Structure 1
């Protein structure tokens, strides 16, 4: 059983991440990718910028891996989050999980993205076409102000 967790500034590589979790004993690999979209609340988004305290972000991502292992029979887990500038249509996070059967990996990948968005300290700034910008919180964040 392996956990691969990374927070990086360069473009995420889907093929590399899925190959990290591929296993001859597993019939399923479930993948979830967050792509940057070009709009939010009627504003045109040009790019996004992510910041993180990398040691804490990775620690929390490993905690999510352990929570997944406590709930489902999965073999390998890979999570990579991008920081820095992330252009529209590029991935900011990829999560891949392998399991002997599809049910476990599908449920685990859903849990993974929901939990990562809620507990991993990563901050995002949307930069709009008119050059204005705004720091955003995930609505799932436990530290989100009311």
Structure 2
């Protein structure tokens, strides 16, 4: 699986604790993260993580591009719903793209844990099967996104 990890500033400690708790499971997959989140995760877990730019500098858009190309299977985005974000349109676009391309998206720890439990149980293998059959490469341009 290809898993993106994103956390707003006030959620970065939660993300570090979460990834540490699921380090063995996450270590079996390809991990991606926005800039500062990725840096902290690499430093504190030693997991190999592909880092994009920081969210406000385009990292959310880079992850969105990966979603639109079906290069990601899961997005875990620990958002801070109580703090205004200057790049809110990018965040909304990423969430919309996850819906368009049927990418499981967790925006809180409870949902993130459920998704990883599903990965561990094999419930997301449909993404691998669809990728092998080329189903994930559908042309979604006909939808008004």
The structure in which a higher percent of residues are strand is 1
The structure in which a higher percent of residues are helix is 2
Rg comparison, structure with higher value: 1
Q: TM-score, normalised by structure 2?
A: 0.27
- For CA contacts below 8 A with separation 6 or more, give which structure has more relative contact order: 1
Q: TM-score, normalised by structure 1?
A: 0.26
